[in-house]
Amino acid sequence: MEGGEEIEIAEENEFPSVIGRKYSPVVAHDNDSAVIEMSSVRPGSSSSLPNHDLKNVKVGVHPNMASEERDESLSNHSSNGPQRESKLELFGFDSLVNILGLKSMTGDQIPAPSSPRDGEDITLTLEQPKPTADKSGTLMGVFMPCLQNILGIIYYIRFSWIVGMAGIGESLLLVVFCGSCTFLTTISLSAIASNGAMKGGGPYYLIGRALGPEVGVSIGLCFFLGNAIAGAMYVLGAVETFLNAVPSAGIFRETITRVNGTDIAEPITSPSLHDLQIYGIVVSILLCFVVFGGVKMINRVAPAFLVPVLFSLLCIFVGIFSARHDHPAVGITGLSLESFKNNWGSAYQMTNNAGIPDPNGDIYWNFNALVGLFFPAVTGIMAGSNRSASLKDTQRAIPVGTLAATLTTTSLYLVSVLLFGAVATRDKLLTDRLLSATVAWPFPAIVYVGIILSTLGAALQSLTGAPRLLAAIANDEILPVLNYFKVADGHEPHVATLFTAIICIGCVVIGNLDLVSPTTTMFYLVCYAGVNLSCFLLDLLDAPSWRPRWKFHHWSLSLVGALLCIVTMFLISWAFTIVSLALASLIYYYVSIKGKAGDWGDGFKSAYFQLALRSLRSLGANQVHPKNWYPIPLIFCRPWGKLPENVPCHPKLADFANCMKKKGRGMSIFVSIIDGDYHERAEDAKDACKELSTYIDYKQCEGVAEIVVAPSMSEGFRGIVQTMGLGNLKPNIIVMRYPEIWRRENLTDIPATFVGIINDCIVANKAVVIVKGLDEWPNEYQRQYGTIDLYWIVRDGGLMLLLSQLLLTKDSFEGCKIQVFCIAEEDSDAEGLKADVKKFLYDLRMQAEVIVISMKSWEAEGEQQESVEAFSAARRRVASYLEEMKEQAQRDRTPLMADGKPVFVEEQQVEKFLYTTLKLNLMVQKYSRMASVVLVSLPPPPLNHPATFYMEYMDLLVENIPRLLIVRGYHKDVVTLFT
């Protein structure tokens, strides 16, 4: 090859393979023969047998072994350890390895068992597991965290106000609407969580494994931010309630707002911003110390927060039922049917910033606004799943605990709407922000304690779940920037907890979260929508792996849940909806660029698989219409020569495969053949396939890799061309490199193999594209400014024209022009042929210059001296081949034989073929000297001609043409004139 490139080719049964061979440079000798050294044994092996560790070799008894030998073998086996049951060995199983195999299915790394030494017993016990942190059950691990997160400050200080503003009827509708959103999400969460073992990360783990790592990380990080900011909201709510209950605890002066526009006029006090900041920071730090203590500490502290909350709720209900008797305040009517009727309808109106009715106020309340205000009171259903790594049984605890907490709190809200609407007048409901404390029995201080502890409990659960969520995202190693937050199994996420505390304290310092809290609610809703969409996709696809223990689910419920989440987002605020979705999209885009690929078997892969199956069935086996025809090239990577080290495919062959696709769309199949026995080289084939796939990805070529093991290249290719592909997705073009080195290296087996491959393609009705001058093929950065010349000799269904158009779509050839050379037999046919071809190209929407060449113009004048010499040398070699065949036939007293089969050679016909290829070669050199690439029709191998003769014709055709595509179409049109 040019440039002093070293080429190394073996005999057909020793052809170089992609992997498992060792090559040595070719040493030139005086007789121009190639010295080839190959070794199919890996370095370091002393024999043809694999060099396995003897300790891992399992003793077996051949079934055909003589009885004496069998007994001796068994006795030797039993001397190395106790005799084991051999029933499983009949099927090729080892009982010890089988047990460990079941363990490995859970994802745990189990060390491979080593064979016992002489005299030692075989034990089937595994190593003692490492002690892990205490695990939580359904009650403490899911139900109580969810209950604490759901029962927040909204119920205590704004729920009665909502009843007064919306009325009992619309308040019930509001609770049902918001509760249905979280209830349907809980159903979807239960189905996904009960579909197998679940690691840490809660909703992130579920969404990521269902919708892919990009969607999982984007929603997971948003949900983490929502939990971290929600912790600050709960802390500020607790501090504000404390300062309202104990005004003397304030360090700075309070802000006083005078009440106007109501029958009950009294001042409303609100604490100073600086007091909120100081107390909020102190409380946040104390809560973070509790979180640093781990799950055990949290489980001990959580009841201390929840029990007073439940007791305060009891006091509120007792106070409501007893309010008729002691009338604790003005406007409290006790449970009254008249109050119930008066409060049934809505009373939407203007209010000031403190929520007090004021005709001159700045805020007008309606149902949509109340949805945004009340919805945070139903969030918190993910508090249990956020701690999935700390649960004993996620498949039971998450569905039961979350659903129980959701139903309990929704029922509580519905009953409270009826009771609050019947116990006080509307003015009292609208002006008393702490009506729950006013009616509480025996005194309001109990409710103040309940408010503070409920908000602190919700803050504690948020600060507990957020760092575990962040640590789970980091442990998946999708984003390298999050590696600082990784944590080992069974350990507490201290770094993630510190980062969460910093975010929480930063939001507390802001003090006013009116702009941040709607975004937090949006993050929750985005997460809920992701959970519903995940269940919808998994349930709709119904893959064999989708077998959730939770049976009460359906894809329609999940779809309704997702739609409810989206509708709720826009009802609350379309502006904050766009902001939250934009942030999630930015994270998704960042993960797709910077993140590492992770194959989690997500639902999208299953959807692609289902779509591919349906598309394949819809395509059927009928002939594809030319309008829908796509090139599906089969790239034959088996080299006719030596490849660079550690490169499984010629680099320019992958570049050429991309040139056969419009805008990169389409599929290529890269195929290589390994010589040998399949049983012996199956592992080599797998390794070679991985190597080839990696190289395809590196070359940014859309395609798949396939490695075939066969006794020879011819047999391997014959199997490939028959079986590769499915239905109408079978490859339709075979692309390979022209064997330019066969004569130079005196490799006499190449002609028969090359001709056999072409004949196989013709029989299988596959198009063929042979690339000559592959080393000179331009890459994407090498611009070409010449012409693309087509020598259209035979009808090929328009394949050559289509290939030229595809070349023009590439950056390297976009500056070229197409020239079509047509061959006319007579001068009189030239003008008519030119007009017909121009009209044909016009109807095909192809821009090309048409040049007609008459057969009579093939004169010998101006012939290239090199081509004439090549023609003379080819004639001499053909005559020599023919003479040798005749002598061999006379000695063997058989007909003329070549390539193991009889041939019939007509010397005048051989002369004609040689002369025709010479003239075509001279024509190409004359008219296409400045062409960037030349396309010429591939002549089929003549029947009953030796393969060596055909290679002589081809060598004469490609002589002195640096870059040539030899194309043969098949019995199908690939272009059409019609729309």
Asked whether residue 331 falls in the same domain as residue 428, the answer is: yes
Asked whether residue 885 falls in the same domain as residue 835, the answer is: yes
pLDDT at residue 532 in the model = 92
Asked whether residue 342 falls in the same domain as residue 202, the answer is: yes
pLDDT at residue 210 in the model = 78
Contacts of 809 (CB under 8 A, 6+ apart): 662, 663
Q: Characterize 401-415 residue by residue with b for buried, 16 or more Cβ atoms within 10 angstroms of its Cβ, and e for exposed.
A: bbbbbbeebbebbee
69 occurs within a structural domain: no
CB of 936 within 8 A of CB of 965? yes
Asked whether residue 758 falls in the same domain as residue 810, the answer is: no
Cα gap 201→846, rounded to integer Å: 56
Cα gap 198→217, rounded to integer Å: 16
Q: Kindly state the DSSP code that residue 13 receives in the 8-state scheme.
A: G
125 occurs within a structural domain: no
Strand partners, 668: 703
4 occurs within a structural domain: no
- Distances 12 to 138, 394, 553, 674 between C-alpha atoms, Å: 68, 60, 61, 11
Mean pLDDT split into 10-residue runs, the chain, 979 residues = 39 37 37 33 38 40 45 44 43 40 42 39 40 68 83 83 93 94 93 79 79 85 88 84 79 61 54 83 89 76 80 89 70 87 90 77 85 86 78 86 93 94 90 85 84 84 86 86 84 88 88 65 89 88 79 91 93 87 89 71 70 72 67 82 76 80 73 90 90 86 88 89 81 88 74 89 90 83 85 78 84 85 72 82 81 67 66 83 80 73 78 85 86 89 84 87 87 66
Asked whether residue 809 falls in the same domain as residue 948, the answer is: yes
Report helix, strand or coil for 959: coil
From the number of C-beta atoms within 10 Å of its C-beta (0-12, 13-18, 19+), residue 666 rates as middle
Asked whether residue 402 falls in the same domain as residue 318, the answer is: yes
pLDDT at residue 324 in the model = 65
CATH code, domain with 360: 1.20.1740.10
Asked whether residue 645 falls in the same domain as residue 586, the answer is: no
- Distances 342 to 284, 357, 424 between C-alpha atoms, Å: 43, 17, 10
pLDDT at residue 253 in the model = 64
Q: How many CA atoms lie within 13 A of 304 on its CB side?
A: 8
Cα gap 649→634, rounded to integer Å: 13
Asked whether residue 561 falls in the same domain as residue 436, the answer is: yes
Kindly report the backbone phi and psi dihedral angles of residue 967, in degrees, each rounded to the nearest multiple of 5, phi listed first: -120, 135
pLDDT at residue 50 in the model = 40
Asked whether residue 208 falls in the same domain as residue 345, the answer is: yes
Cα gap 603→192, rounded to integer Å: 12
| Domain endpoint, select from 594, 613, 645 | 594
Task: Extract the tokens encoding 428.
Answer: 């009292």
Report helix, strand or coil for 865: helix
Total-model pTM: 0.64
Asked whether residue 460 falls in the same domain as residue 527, the answer is: yes
| Domain endpoint, select from 718, 738, 772 | 772
- Distances 594 to 220, 476, 480, 510, 586 between C-alpha atoms, Å: 16, 14, 8, 32, 12
Kindly report the backbone phi and psi dihedral angles of residue 299, in degrees, each rounded to the nearest multiple of 5, phi listed first: -65, -30
Cα gap 640→741, rounded to integer Å: 7
From the number of C-beta atoms within 10 Å of its C-beta (0-12, 13-18, 19+), residue 599 rates as exposed
Report helix, strand or coil for 258: coil
pLDDT at residue 128 in the model = 43
Range of the domain at 845: 790-978
467 occurs within a structural domain: yes
Cα gap 462→364, rounded to integer Å: 32
Strand partners, 852: 822
Kindly report the backbone phi and psi dihedral angles of residue 203, in degrees, each rounded to the nearest multiple of 5, phi listed first: -60, -30
Q: How many domains does the chain have?
A: 3
Report helix, strand or coil for 265: coil
Asked whether residue 685 falls in the same domain as residue 539, the answer is: no
Cα gap 384→201, rounded to integer Å: 11
